[in-house]
Structure 1
Amino acid sequence: MNKLFSEKLKKYRKELEVKRNEKVGQVRLAEELGISKGAIGNLENGERVPSKKILVKLAEHSKKSLSYWMDGVEEYEAPNSVDLVLDKMIEKGLITDTDISDEAWEIIKKAVLLEIERKIR
């Protein structure tokens, strides 16, 4: 279903193994991300499309951008970066109502620009 994403996820696990100099299996990565081992297995096998929450968790864990993880995910399958950013900002309490701070607007602006870039390339 999603070969490019599954290859990135496998590659990321291998990068962790090299960095830590120890085996990082699907179970361990799943635990670190707070998702099931079955979800990791299905993602690595290309049998499942990553959810918004999984994409955000991978971005935070890996310190790689959401764009990196979403690249290659079909347009109809991928949540857009604005949606992901808004969800995360609400979760972190940066947005609690429609009175949005200048700092939050700057973050939203960057997400919109990323989404525009993604759509026109």
Structure 2
Amino acid sequence: MSTIFSKKLKDYRKELETKHQEKFGQVRLANELGISKGIIGDLERGTRLPSKKVLIKLVEHSGKSINYWMDGIEEYEAPNSVDLVLDKMIEKGLIKDINIDDDAWEIIKKAVLLEIERKLK
């Protein structure tokens, strides 16, 4: 049962090798995801499909969507960290109007810096 997923997982490890400029084997990825190397091997061979738990770990680790992993859809824009932070701050009542205190601005500043870093990658 060869799948789009198995190819995407192999490609992802190659991306990680390029990013880290060193070998990024199945054992290392398994350790970072908190799963066994055997699961990674089975997934890459296409002899098993990922569980929901493994899929969620890959989404979080890679910043790529479930659609990317399962359907091969390349076009994915990770959620904007600034939007997520602002939504959460409004939800928690930390921002009630345009008069934002210094502590809230510091949180927003960190979110903007994270977004800049993400876009530069």
TM-score normalised by length of structure 2 = 0.58
1:14-53 → structure 2 map (5 Å cutoff):
14-53=14-53
Report what 2:3 is aligned to: 3
2:71 alignment counterpart: 71
Per-residue deviation, 1:67: 1.4
* Structure 1 CA distance for aligned equivalents of residues 8 and 57 of structure 2: 14
Letter in 2 for 1:55: L
Query: What value does the CA root-mean-square deviation take over the aligned residues?
Result: 1.3
- Whether the aligned pair in 1 keeps the contact of 2:4 and 2:70 (CA below 8 Å) is no
Question: Matched residues in 2 for 1:28 and 1:65: separation?
Answer: 21
In the TM superposition, structure 1's runs of 4+ consecutive aligned residues that sit over 4 Å from their partners are: none
Name the larger-Rg structure: 2
Is there any run of 5+ residues in structure 2 with no aligned partner, and where?
A: 73-90, 92-121
Return 5+ residue gaps in structure 1 as ranges: 73-102, 104-121
Give the aligned partner of residue 57 of structure 1. 57
- C-alpha displacement of 1:35: 0.4
Give 1:70 shift. 1.9
- Give 1:4 deviation, angstroms: 1.2
Q: Partner letter of residue 23 of structure 1? A: K
Deviations 1:36-89 (A, max 9, x none): 0000000000001110001100000000011111216xxxxxxxxxxxxxxxxx
CA distance in 1, matches of 2:66, 2:45: 20
Q: Distance in 2 between matches of 1:54 and 1:60?
A: 10
What's the % identity of the aligned pairs?
Answer: 71
Which amino acid counterpart does residue 29 of structure 1 have in structure 2?
L
Number of aligned residue pairs: 73
Structure 1 CA distance, aligned partners of 2:30 and 2:69?
16
